[in-house]
A = this chain, B = another copy of it.
Amino acid sequence: MLPERNFSNLLAARWRDADSLLCVGLDPDPQRFAPSLRNRKDAILRFCCAIADATAPYACAFKPQIAYFAAQRAEDQLEDLMAHLRARHPDIPVVLDAKRGDIGSTAEQYAREAFERYGADAVTLSPFMGHDTIEPFLAYAGRAAFLLCRTSNPGGNDLQMLDVGGEHLFERLARLAADAWHRPGQIGLVVGATFPRELARVRELAPSLPLLVPGVGAQGGDIPATVRAGCDIDGFGLLINSSRAILYASSGDDYADAAAQAARQTRDEINRSRGDRRDNR
């Protein structure tokens, strides 16, 4: 039995209670850690917990990126981090960024990894193999899946911008997620911040889906344009992710304080851009 959590409810409550659309990405790179953490066996766990505790007041969600743990043989530290987040910050939903995608029987194993082993509230997935590769994740009531839709890396154009009968592939995906593949509260999309026009198009096609938006901060996405393009009609609907600009705001032992300051500034910048909509609530 999984503990009773509901990603969609947690997120909606957190957007309002923390007045934040900021998602804090946890991409721990030991080469960038402060001196006091170097050579500690549990450096990754300590770093991530300190960042999470410091930035929690400004976060609507946390997003650990599993590749950074896997490359360091640190799955045990990811388990401990997830337990820490649930215990200390039970009202903040956690999206495990894993971008899995495989056929049914294998997808069941990945779903077990994300939801049972790590206790994530949501997971990122690649939609390349189609609807049945998403379903084993949606079988977990209350958990959610964010499907890759439009990514902001240079090669994002290679497939996502192909014309598939009068619309781009990413538009088709947004329509599928909002319609044929939709399950209330269980589906979101990943849309990069660097193409606000396309973000606006996704919002148009999927008016009520939560959009996970990487690419602000170190990757250069523009916050006001992202907010204008991506917020839903109530001024919510976004998880605007920042990782490196927060995690490595200082390379010294004041990294957690610096992260808190960077997170607060980013949240505030997002909220200034939301200004009008927040006033109208």
Measuring CB to CB, which residues of chain A are less than 8 angstroms from any residue of chain B? 27, 65, 67-68, 70-71, 73, 75, 99-107, 109-110, 112-113, 116-117, 126-134, 148, 151, 153-160, 162-165, 169, 172-173, 176
Q: Are B99 and A101 neighbours in the complex by a CB distance under 8 Å? A: yes
Q: How many copies does the complex hold?
A: 2
Can you give 20 contacting A-B residue pairs, CB < 8 Å?
A27-B105, A65-B106, A65-B109, A67-B100, A68-B106, A70-B117, A71-B110, A71-B116, A99-B100, A99-B101, A101-B126, A129-B159, A130-B154, A130-B157, A130-B160, A131-B155, A131-B158, A133-B155, A163-B164, A164-B169
Partner of A113, one of B67, B100, B112, B116: B67
User: In whole Å, how far is A101's beta carbon from the nearest beta carbon of chain B?
Assistant: 5
Using Cβ atoms and an 8 Å threshold, which residues of chain B touch A134? Answer: 155
Q: Are A153 and B130 neighbours in the complex by a CB distance under 8 Å? A: yes
Q: Are A110 and B151 neighbours in the complex by a CB distance under 8 Å? A: no
Using Cβ atoms and an 8 Å threshold, which residues of chain B touch A130? Answer: 151, 153-160
Whole-angstrom distance between the alpha carbons of A110 and B131 in the complex?
A: 25
Q: Are A110 and B159 neighbours in the complex by a CB distance under 8 Å? A: no
Question: Which residue on B lies nearest to A130, using beta carbons?
Answer: B155
Whole-angstrom distance between the alpha carbons of A71 and B172 in the complex?
A: 32
Partner of A164, one of B117, B128, B162: B162
Partner of A155, one of B75, B99, B110, B132: B132
Question: Which of A116, A133, A155, A173 counts the most chain B CB atoms within 10 A?
Answer: A155
Whole-angstrom distance between the alpha carbons of A104 and B131 in the complex?
A: 26
Question: Which residue on B lies nearest to A165, using beta carbons?
Answer: B163
Q: Are A109 and B68 neighbours in the complex by a CB distance under 8 Å? A: yes
Q: Are A132 and B104 neighbours in the complex by a CB distance under 8 Å? A: no
User: In whole Å, how far is A129's beta carbon from the nearest beta carbon of chain B?
Assistant: 5
